[in-house]
């Protein structure tokens, strides 16, 4: 099913490329756009995960540099029945996280330093379990391809606007075509976000809760980070808004509505679904601490990461 959705998305994006190309350069522009679309789709399939990580300045960490975090991810991946993904950290105060990769064998998860400071270990485990659910469901392929292709469509339209659409004799609708394409480009990412059903978030929430074993951990995490994310602007996302749908909560400022064009469901709806799942599982309350054999958390040797082990102050997170 996910492969079918990916194929449909790529076909839709190819058609959009052709439409923009025709408006900018007529039949010749459409042909060039078609070739560009083929190259972009192929590049996105193989490299969009690396591009997404690079866009947000993610740096890879290992057990040697961040044993607590890596052990947590590996324990959760074992619970999920998938290979352990590569682990990345983004230096940003905004509490957020995302997963990427074309399949479970070539996947990565990334978390901001802000989310690691803000959440308890249990809450962070809930968040990362959600991201592993995306990997398990292979949502990450369509998410990363969508981000890359959306950026390419905008670039194509801006290119046409800058150069005035080339030869007006073969330029579809001439200057009108150029202006139409330029106006459509900002909505390309929005269209992709509409194509990618927001129900994948509900599905990942549910699967993530099953992976970590406690829906309340993710519920508590969502309640914390959804209210705080908008307070910290993430410059890399503001520069690349087509990647906003990759994150567990909306990373863009000033976009909290659960509308037709929103990239994420309303947090209160997600929390309500998690509470219902907890009732189905016969659970209530905050749940126990993480079992060390399930998600081992040890002291980090990376000085750039928050550390565990001392009593928290009023401005500290559970990681130090």
Per-residue pLDDT tens for 162-207? 665 555 445 555 677 677 777 776 677 666 666 666 778 888 999 9
Q: Over the stretch 40-92, which tens digit does the pLDDT of each residue have?
A: 778 878 887 898 899 999 999 999 989 999 999 999 999 999 999 999 999 99
Of the candidate ranges 106-110, 192-196, 309-313, the one whose mean pLDDT is the lowest: 309-313
3-state SS, the chain, equals: CHHHHHHHHHHHHHHHHHHHHHHHHHHHHHHHHHHHHHHHHHHHHHHHHHHHHHHCCCEEECCCCCHHHHHHHHHHHHHHCCCCCEEEEECCCCCCEEEEECCHHHEEEEEEHHHHHHCCHHHHHHHHHHHHHHHHCCHHHHHHHHHHHHHHHHHHHHHHHHHCCCCHHHCCCCHHHHHHHHHHHHHHHHHHHHHCCCHHHHHHHHHHHHHHCCHHHHHHHHHHHHHHHHHCCCHHHHHCHHHHHHECCCCCCCCCCCCCCCCCCCHHHHHHHHHHHHHHCCCCCCCCCCCCCCCCCCCCCCCCCCCCCCCCCCCCCCCC
Confidence of residue 141 (pLDDT cuts 50, 70, 90): confident
For the question of residue 276 being annotated catalytic, the response is no
- Tens of pLDDT, residue by residue over 82-107, are 999 999 999 999 999 999 998 999 99
**For residue 111, pLDDT beyond 60:** yes
Q: What is the pTM of this model?
A: 0.76
Which is catalytic among the residues 131, 201, 219, 293? 131
């Amino acid at each position: 099913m996910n492969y079918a959705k990916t194929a449909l998305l790529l076909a839709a994006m190819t058609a959009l490329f052709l439409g923009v190309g025709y408006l900018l350069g007529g039949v010749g522009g459409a042909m060039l756009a078609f070739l560009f679309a083929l190259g972009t789709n192929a590049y996105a399939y193989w490299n969009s995960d690396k591009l997404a990580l690079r866009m947000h300045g993610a740096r890879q960490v290992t057990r040697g540099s961040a044993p607590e975090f890596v052990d947590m991810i590996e324990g959760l991946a074992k619970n999920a029945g998938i290979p352990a993904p590569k682990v990345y950290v983004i230096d940003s105060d905004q509490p957020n996280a995302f997963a990427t990769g074309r399949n479970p064998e070539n996947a990565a998860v990334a978390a901001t330093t802000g989310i690691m400071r803000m959440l308890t270990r249990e809450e962070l485990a809930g968040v990362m379990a959600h991201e592993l659910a995306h990997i398990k469901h292979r949502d990450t392929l369509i998410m990363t391809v969508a981000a890359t292709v959306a950026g390419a469509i905008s670039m194509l339209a801006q290119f046409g606007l800058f150069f005035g659409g080339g030869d007006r004799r073969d330029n579809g609708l001439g200057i009108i075509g150029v202006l139409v394409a330029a106006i459509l480009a900002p909505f390309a990412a929005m269209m992709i976000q509409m194509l990618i059903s927001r129900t994948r978030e509900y599905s990942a929430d549910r699967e993530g809760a099953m992976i970590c074993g406690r829906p309340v951990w993710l519920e508590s995490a969502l309640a914390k980070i959804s209210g705080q994310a908008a307070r910290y602007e993430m410059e890399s996302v503001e520069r690349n808004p087509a990647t906003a749908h990759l994150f567990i909560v909306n990373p863009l400022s000033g976009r909290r509505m659960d509308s037709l064009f929103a990239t994420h469901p309303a947090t209160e709806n997600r929390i309500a679904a998690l509470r219902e799942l907890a009732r189905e599982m016969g659970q209530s309350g905050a749940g126990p601490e993480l079992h060390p054999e399930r998600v081992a958390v040890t002291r980090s040797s990376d000085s750039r990461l928050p550390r565990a082990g001392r009593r928290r102050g009023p401005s500290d997170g559970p990681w130090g």
